[in-house]
Structure 1
């Protein structure tokens, strides 16, 4: 890792900000002692926390701002009125080259809108995508898009595949990630035309990945692939279904072990294994969604992340910056066997209106 990698932190973003942000950074500093931090937020809230953590303060800089993006703010409002917010200034520091990557646990829609507006997309990318890590039977997998693009064509799905594979190489340490397109069946004749066309392009492209064809939803948790690619509508629904299933399992297992004294005794005997299961399914151990395809690095932490979870998101940010993810994506797209055409990036209507008003 290069010395003095610098992480921009939106200190006011998240359910328990700024305490979780500062304490999470303190934990990350212990794991990555060469990393520096820049905190953006309200001095009355953040400065006392930094003063109480002298080792963290030694490798940190603080930038005061009164403006904060609220959880209920719409993306358009964030673009129009929050350009001096802690979230926006953290992203601006990446654009200016002052920081290597920005991390925020704040409003997801606002973060996506501000990041797209400030950083723009890479020249070779039509649309950015939101990617995250999910627990599987074999470890973890990358899934994208998780909501940034409701409708996608074949070229978008191919771009997502390239970006997801590059992300898996940096964060999961895989040389040739296994990539699958989420579909209603594994047969080549199934699915819509966009999915089938994307599959054909990926089969004929020279890329640092192993394309596995189509996978179904029940194969995600089995760890059949390292990267699951789909459009944002399907991906967001699948993500919520996976999270809901994990919560259901946890509640059912808890109820079962509380059902009788024999069951409680069984829990005592199986406690170590149950704790391992709980940790594997804990979203804080897989925290850190990434906006791939931007001309800069931005990580979205769960709003309700714990200190451990926020430190995990910082770790994802460090891995991306250390392995120069943007360079990998740009390089890998050169191996895609398709005619690339310039097209207008997908933005929300409110985002377009906001851009014209702020011009």
Structure 2
């Protein structure tokens, strides 16, 4: 089993570096071939690594005393980020010292730094952020979740190919169902970009996925598609709406079971089922947004995640690296008509996860 090296921004996130080191140890149990290069303050990180038996013989620590702050603007991170833990992690991927990088730091800064150092892959105009969403049928992939506020039809088509490849590798789906997020399922609904992307996908022969047309917002949680494609504006709103709805349902359930002595007794009887529901909706299970479309693999973890959640983000990076994701995307995109890719524009702000 060939080793797989993952670069870790050990200083990014709300609970760094403790949670990140703990998450790496959990991930190593699942992927014994993993090796890690941690970038961070040696005085804080080294004792944590030594406290994890699974990490002692498979970890390298590169000291840096600087890090990108949570409120750093992407433009500032690009100018002043050199030498920070986030920058060095992405640089390790660029230089071939790691097959993937994982950070729980500032999302906008990570996207900017990753695009600056890795650039977009050939034949891809813009990168996109992809992550998992729980549905009644299991899990779905959704992209873009905030990297691109506005997209044209070509961008959406590329997102469809990237999302399908992501679903094949991460969810084990041979031919995922791909749909474009829209305000209706009829062919005439939606803006020009969405309708144009649908036409291109319908006319492309031998797609490596099943294009099912349009899906509305209420079809996301129903699992009507394995991959939901959208621009970053609508995608981010859909993601945050689903997260808020999950919290609303949890609050309603808690209030209902506190209403009377009888409802409290009912809670005792229902507690095992409620615990299963809580675990099913635990955001840490779905933690990790992959920055797809770059010349290298970078995964963004939620800044407030726990060790289990950070391990999930590392697992996404490992699955994509083991599946040779970047090469497969380029092979898939040969199926569509070539288009001149404009120079990549680093987004001013990215809002999906912090």
TM range (shorter): over 0.9
The alpha-carbon deviation at position 233 of structure 1 amounts to: 0.7
The answer as to whether partners of 2:70 and 2:105 remain within 8 angstroms in 1 is yes
Cα distance between partner residues in 2 of 1:349 and 1:53 = 39
2:103 counterpart of 1:104 = yes
Cα distance between partner residues in 1 of 2:349 and 2:286 = 31
Segments of structure 2 that go 5 or more residues without pairing to the other structure are: none
Instruction: String of CA shifts for 1:260-319, please: whole Å, max 9, x gaps.
Output: 221122122122221111111111001110000000000000101111101111111110
Indicate the SS of the match to 1:310: helix
The answer as to whether partners of 2:124 and 2:341 remain within 8 angstroms in 1 is no
2:285 counterpart of 1:278 = no
1:247-286 → structure 2 map (5 Å cutoff): 247-286=247-286
2:20 paired residue number: 21
The answer as to whether partners of 2:287 and 2:302 remain within 8 angstroms in 1 is yes
Task: Decide whether aligned partners of structure 1 residues 350 and 166 sit closer, same or farther in structure 2, where only a CA change above 3 A counts.
Answer: closer
1:135 paired residue number: 134
The answer as to whether partners of 2:120 and 2:127 remain within 8 angstroms in 1 is yes
The alpha-carbon deviation at position 3 of structure 1 amounts to: 1.7
1:355 paired residue number: none
The answer as to whether partners of 2:123 and 2:338 remain within 8 angstroms in 1 is no
2:48 counterpart of 1:52 = no
Give the total of aligned pairs.
349
The alpha-carbon deviation at position 339 of structure 1 amounts to: 4.3
The answer as to whether partners of 2:257 and 2:264 remain within 8 angstroms in 1 is yes
1:287 paired residue number: 287
Instruction: String of CA shifts for 1:300-347, please: whole Å, max 9, x gaps.
Output: 0010111110111111111000101101111110112x3412322232
Normalized against structure 2, the TM-score is what? 0.96
Indicate the SS of the match to 2:140: strand
2:236 paired residue number: 236
1:195-206 → structure 2 map (5 Å cutoff): 195-205=194-204, 206=206
Cα distance between partner residues in 1 of 2:82 and 2:136 = 42
The answer as to whether partners of 2:288 and 2:300 remain within 8 angstroms in 1 is yes
2:63 counterpart of 1:40 = no
1:173 paired residue number: 172
Cα distance between partner residues in 2 of 1:286 and 1:348 = 24
Segments of structure 1 that go 5 or more residues without pairing to the other structure are: 352-359
Indicate the SS of the match to 1:335: coil
1:183 paired residue number: 182
Moved over 4 A (4+): none
1:354 paired residue number: none
The answer as to whether partners of 1:121 and 1:128 remain within 8 angstroms in 2 is yes
The answer as to whether partners of 1:76 and 1:350 remain within 8 angstroms in 2 is no
Instruction: String of CA shifts for 1:161-202, please: whole Å, max 9, x gaps.
Output: 000000000000001000000000000011111111100111
Cα distance between partner residues in 1 of 2:330 and 2:347 = 25
Normalized against structure 1, the TM-score is what? 0.95
